[in-house]
A and B are shown apart, each in its own frame.
Chain A
Amino acid sequence: MSARDSILGKIRASMGSPASNDDRRRTVADRLGSAPAGIIPERAKLAEAERIELFCAMAEQFGATLARVGSYGEVAGEVSGYLRDRNLPATIRIGADKRLKAAGWETEKNLELRHGPSDGSDMTGVSHATAGIAETGTVAMMSGQDNPTTINFLPEHHIVVIKAGDIKGDMESVWAMVREKQGKGEMPRALNLITGPSRSGDIEQTILLGAHGPRALHVIVVD
């Protein structure tokens, strides 16, 4: 008997051979099909303006910095300003996301854009979030050419651009978005929920920012 059959057999035996497997199969299929939502915290249920406010407040609470701009055309200026204020090199790593293409880079003559995944040598990476979660100030990032996963983790500074309208109240609304993009039951190769910059408390329980991932997370909300 294969290990698989043996393990499944032991599980079934421990249940004392249930009366009807058809019923159990139906229960499982129903749950997987309907994916019931469970309890959604009240604080996630807000109208759009308050929802965006909460998202910004929570992201800052968990160590991110925040900027709000009026349009995509202002993103490049905000990125340049961020780099200048921190004396960072005027070079960013960026994927192929179309929304980021129209971010006004042409006005930032000194800024160098490196395209494609990060190789670990980048000081700053810029990506576009799929969605935001106001409940916890979290950004949701999907893998792919548009926003390579390595940009989320290798640069010291991670700048995430998010459209205000993509900020949802709760995690469950993000699953609805992912299902719309990918189909029910399908996921991108990697989906990263990111809440603040990388940190560790492993030495004497002292929380320090900048463990293995970015030391700083800067979120730009585009209204």
Chain B
Amino acid sequence: MELTANKFKANASKALVDAQLQKALGNVEKGFIGKRQKAADALPEFDALRDNARDIKNHTLAHLDLYLEEYERKVTAAGGHVHWAQTAEDARRIVLDICRKANARTVTKGKSMITEEIALNDHLEANGIEPVETDLGEYIIQLRGEHPSHIIAPAVHLNKEQVEGDFRRVHTHLASERDLSEPVSLLSEAREVLRQRYFAADVGITGANFLIAETGSSVIVTNEGNGDLTQTLGKVHVVVASIEKIVPTLEDTSQILRVLARSATGQDMSVYTTFSTGPKREEDPDGPDEYHVVLLDNGRSAMLGTEYQDMLRCIRCGACMNHCPVYHAVGGHAYGSVYPGPMGAVLTPSLNGIDETGQLPNASTFCGRCEAVCPMRIPLPKMMRHWREREFERNLTPAVARYGLKAWAFFAKRPKLYRFAASLGMPLLSLFGGTSRRFHALPLAGGWTRYRDLPAPEGRTFQQAWAQREALKQEAGH
């Protein structure tokens, strides 16, 4: 997709007045937050498992080169092929080559964010191969020519009436008077239409939630079963996964699985957790004839050893965006990048550079809920702050903010002057606040007062108020 991260403010303004979108976004808060909390509360070991999951990934990242080598050895021993891709372009080329060798006309796809990252569908289409998304949400947005607005609920920005309209527009072979008013009839229709596509497809492409070094297995975690049909019925199964998906053992996978579904959808386990190891074997009646893994770097190795390394622990559960007030207000498309929400605000600058994406780490109130719910305990606000610092260093911050910060820094470095200026300013602002004690408009702060009032100061500076409070405490103590 075209990166429009630096139009975040404009995108957000549009999103805020989009009535359809605002209605659909209500489902994010309603759907995810309570379910996650309930699932977490029902497992006393949940927080300890989060610590353990974090430690497992930290250990893996510290030995990533060795675990990747071992993983490759095991995949090859099971009869699979490992392809290494440094860039998105390399990965697209490798997947296209595999499809061409299989004489593929159509490929089915399980839900995969990594194939969004490398814009695989456009590349296949441009080369005469039809990609068919099979996850219900992905199928819907493919019909609409859109991109996912959420990493696990790609069509969360839509209402059922919009889906009905798309199905009527595209499924013209079905009776026009059919009833599609309920989600269940929409689901049944998608099931019927896609059933035929699995059997017709030559290649099935999936992502991976985990790659296990111990066994050479790729793991997908799904609820619909489409990923399994995709990888079982195609003659060739291609797994596209980034290098940080590696975990050492089956036991390590189990630890992380216990926090993944609970954090994502509030389920104890997703319906289907599938471990795939190599192609069909001699005695197998079903499964793919070929099994390929495309291991993608695309900027991740450069994150190791930096202040952004912790981001590589991310397991793409979506909890950070489900709990983000900014995401709730504007939805995923406003971010203008493949990965929305707090995890996207950290990852996208790492993958695409801060020059093109500087508005994303600023699209946060720093309320801290994303970090509080992250199953992998990724310090997302801290990393967004790091990106803001980088942005400032590179003179990318808007001029007004730069001068404002510089003026503040001038005073902040001179405490006496700061106290003096503040002690003059506060009573003055208090006076201007009038009887309503609020400002409806302020010079240089129009962006704030356009949407809400600014409360007027009480008249004393913070330091004065603090000194008085401490004095009172001392008195009370004696």
Q: Which residues of A contact B (CB under 8 A)?
A: 2-4, 6-8, 10-12, 14-16, 24-25, 27-28, 31-32, 35-39, 41-43, 58, 62, 95, 116-117, 120, 135-136, 138, 143-145, 148-150, 152-154, 170-172, 175, 178, 185-206, 208, 210-214
Residues of A within 8 A of B70 (CB): 28, 32
Is B85 touching A3 in the complex (CB atoms < 8 A)?
yes
Is A8 touching B69 in the complex (CB atoms < 8 A)?
yes
Is A198 touching B225 in the complex (CB atoms < 8 A)?
yes
Residues of B within 8 A of A154 (CB): 229
Check if B209 is an interface residue, CB within 8 A of chain A: no
Is B69 touching A39 in the complex (CB atoms < 8 A)?
no
What is the CB-to-nearest-CB distance from A194 to chain B, in angstroms, rounded to a whole number? Answer: 6
Bound-state Cα–Cα, A185 to B49, Å:
24
Residues of A within 8 A of B295 (CB): 7
Q: Which of B43, B136, B184, B287 contacts A190 (CB 8 A)?
A: B287
Residues of B within 8 A of A148 (CB): 285-286
Interface residue count on the B side (C-beta < 8 Å): 104
Task: List 5 additional A-B contacts (Cβ < 8 Å) besides A148-B286, A201-B223.
Answer: A24-B63, A170-B254, A200-B136, A208-B183, A208-B187
Is A214 touching B225 in the complex (CB atoms < 8 A)?
yes
When C-beta atoms are compared, the residue in chain A nearest to B135 turns out to be A202
What is the CB-to-nearest-CB distance from A54 to chain B, in angstroms, rounded to a whole number? Answer: 12
Question: 24 interchain pairs (CB within 8 A)?
Answer: A8-B65, A32-B213, A36-B249, A62-B271, A143-B287, A170-B254, A175-B250, A189-B277, A189-B279, A189-B281, A195-B270, A195-B273, A199-B271, A200-B187, A203-B155, A204-B24, A205-B30, A208-B184, A210-B187, A211-B224, A212-B195, A212-B226, A213-B224, A213-B228
Stretch of B114-122, B301-309, B378-386 on the interface side: B301-309
Is B277 touching A188 in the complex (CB atoms < 8 A)?
yes
Bound-state Cα–Cα, A148 to B286, Å:
6
Give the contacts of B219-237 with A (CB-CB under 8 A).
Answer: 223-226, 228-229, 232-233
Q: Given contacts A28-B63, A32-B248, A189-B284, are A211 and B226 in contact (CB under 8 A)?
A: yes
Q: Given contacts A7-B84, A143-B286, A198-B225, are A186 and B271 in contact (CB under 8 A)?
A: no
Residues of A within 8 A of B232 (CB): 149-150, 153, 190
Residues of A within 8 A of B306 (CB): 14
Bound-state Cα–Cα, A175 to B255, Å:
13
Check if B194 is an interface residue, CB within 8 A of chain A: yes
Bound-state Cα–Cα, A28 to B281, Å:
29
Q: Given contacts A10-B297, A204-B24, A210-B187, are A117 and B224 in contact (CB under 8 A)?
A: no
Residues of B within 8 A of A172 (CB): 250-251, 254
Residues of B within 8 A of A10 (CB): 297, 301-302
Is B286 touching A149 in the complex (CB atoms < 8 A)?
yes
B139-155 near A? 1/0 per residue, CB < 8 Å? 01000000000000111
Check if B156 is an interface residue, CB within 8 A of chain A: yes
When C-beta atoms are compared, the residue in chain B nearest to A193 turns out to be B273
Check if B334 is an interface residue, CB within 8 A of chain A: no
Residues of A within 8 A of B72 (CB): 4
Residues of A within 8 A of B106 (CB): none
Bound-state Cα–Cα, A14 to B61, Å:
11
Is A153 touching B229 in the complex (CB atoms < 8 A)?
yes
Is B285 touching A117 in the complex (CB atoms < 8 A)?
yes
Bound-state Cα–Cα, A2 to B90, Å:
12
Is A212 touching B183 in the complex (CB atoms < 8 A)?
no
Is A191 touching B274 in the complex (CB atoms < 8 A)?
yes
What is the CB-to-nearest-CB distance from A100 to chain B, in angstroms, rounded to a whole number? Answer: 15
What is the CB-to-nearest-CB distance from B61 to chain A, in angstroms, rounded to a whole number? Answer: 9
Bound-state Cα–Cα, A188 to B183, Å:
37
Residues of B within 8 A of A143 (CB): 284, 286-287
Bound-state Cα–Cα, A214 to B90, Å:
37
Residues of B within 8 A of A196 (CB): 271
When C-beta atoms are compared, the residue in chain B nearest to A194 turns out to be B272
Residues of B within 8 A of A32 (CB): 70, 213-214, 248-249
Give the contacts of B239-281 with A (CB-CB under 8 A).
Answer: 243, 248-252, 254-255, 257-258, 265, 267-281
What is the CB-to-nearest-CB distance from B281 to chain A, in angstroms, rounded to a whole number? Answer: 6
Residues of A within 8 A of B56 (CB): 38
What is the CB-to-nearest-CB distance from A170 to chain B, in angstroms, rounded to a whole number? Answer: 8
Check if B68 is an interface residue, CB within 8 A of chain A: yes
